[in-house]
């Protein structure tokens, strides 16, 4: 039986202490997969802590280790898109280098794809984090699913293994705002979710803080939904019905009506213009069509 080719896409941004432990943990897992030839593709996202040098040390010992270096820090989803776009394989897996997502689960992903699934993904349990962060994370997932234009898979992150046809489908859109979990939900196919307990980072601290989480949530909403734009219409209808009702019930005079109308108009315009501006900015950047990532060919070894 001809071996299938599996590419493991591993984002790296200043993860010097995690690279070697991840390799040592993931390698025996990959070698245990039947009828699979694999390559471990580290995507270096502008690291300046020696991460690239550490990857090259591994590559000198194992030519299955590859590295794609980007010209600067382009962000997590751009890194994944770079790996998926530039590597040819039959199957692709995406996993973080810090081992919070256990490499051992790749065996289960592989078994699911062998069983006919197109996408196998990890369903994360609650991680060790402040209760307030967990609360807002749950709100994000359920709200995002509730307003999305297409399917959103709850608790699905980018820790997954996918077939070539799924990869081709999710890299096809030409957008400067990549949000892969929304793309995975949109394209459909046969999906299998596998629950797991998220581990502790092997080394270092997470690059995500509350500000970055907020930006990530807003990007998720804008990438997967046009509901905020429709909400402007819904608000206009509600205000149009409620305003005369309030005036009639409260028996307001001319001056009070004018004041109330001014306040209502101000806040409605504030919400409407801000929402339209966000989508217009995204449409503008998509029109300019700058590349989502730029590869540093002098430090890329495939």
Sites in the chain below the pLDDT cut of 70: 1-2, 126-134, 136-137, 151, 154-155, 201, 203-213, 215-217, 220
Query: What is the distance between the alpha carbons of residues 273 and 297, in angstroms, rounded to a whole number?
Result: 42
What is the phi/psi pair of residue 276, to 5°?
-60, -40
**What are the pLDDT digits (tens) for 14-47?**
888 889 899 999 999 999 888 888 999 999 988 8
- What integer pLDDT is reported at residue 111 of this predicted model? 92
Query: What is the distance between the alpha carbons of residues 83 and 89, in angstroms, rounded to a whole number?
Result: 11
What is the phi/psi pair of residue 66, to 5°?
-120, 160
Q: Which of 28, 194, 27, 1 is nearest to 90 (CA)?
A: 1
- What integer pLDDT is reported at residue 76 of this predicted model? 84
pTM for this entry? 0.78
Q: Kindly tell me the sign of the dihedral angle through the C-alpha atoms of 196, 200, 202, 207.
A: positive
**What are the pLDDT digits (tens) for 218-267?**
776 777 778 888 888 888 888 888 888 877 777 777 777 888 788 888 88
Q: 241-260: buried (b, 16+ CB within 10 Å) or exposed (e) per residue?
A: eeeeeeeeeeeeeeeeeeee
């Amino acid at each position: 039986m001809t071996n299938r080719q599996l590419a493991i896409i591993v984002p790296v941004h200043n993860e010097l202490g995690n690279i070697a432990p991840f390799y040592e943990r993931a390698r025996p897992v990959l070698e245990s997969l039947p009828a699979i030839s694999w390559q471990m593709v580290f995507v270096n996202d502008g690291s300046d802590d020696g991460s690239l040098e550490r990857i090259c040390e591994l590559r000198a010992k194992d030519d299955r280790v590859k590295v794609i270096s980007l010209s600067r820090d382009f962000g997590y989803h751009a890194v994944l898109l770079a790996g998926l776009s530039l590597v040819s394989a039959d199957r692709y897996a995406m996993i973080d280098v810090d081992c919070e997502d256990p490499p051992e689960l790749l065996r289960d992903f592989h078994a699911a794809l062998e069983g006919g699934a197109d996408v196998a993904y990890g369903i994360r349990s609650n991680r060790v984090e402040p209760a307030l962060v967990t609360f807002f994370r749950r709100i994000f997932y359920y709200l995002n699913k509730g307003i999305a234009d297409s399917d959103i898979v709850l608790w699905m992150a980018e820790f997954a293994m996918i077939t070539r046809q799924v990869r081709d489908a999710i890299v096809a859109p030409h957008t400067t705002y990549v949000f892969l979990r929304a793309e995975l939900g949109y394209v459909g196919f046969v999906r299998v979710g596998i629950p797991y307990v998220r581990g502790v980072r092997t080394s270092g601290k997470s690059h995500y803080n509350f500000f970055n989480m907020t930006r990530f949530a807003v990007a998720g909403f804008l990438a997967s939904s046009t509901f905020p734009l429709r909400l402007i219409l819904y608000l206009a209808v509600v205000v149009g019905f409620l305003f005369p009702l309030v005036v009639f019930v409260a028996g307001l005079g001319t001056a009070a009506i004018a004041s109330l109308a001014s306040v209502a108009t101000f806040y409605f315009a504030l919400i409407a213009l801000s929402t339209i501006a966000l989508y217009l900015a995204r449409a503008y950047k998509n029109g300019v069509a700058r590349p989502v990532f730029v590869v540093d060919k002098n430090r890329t070894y495939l």
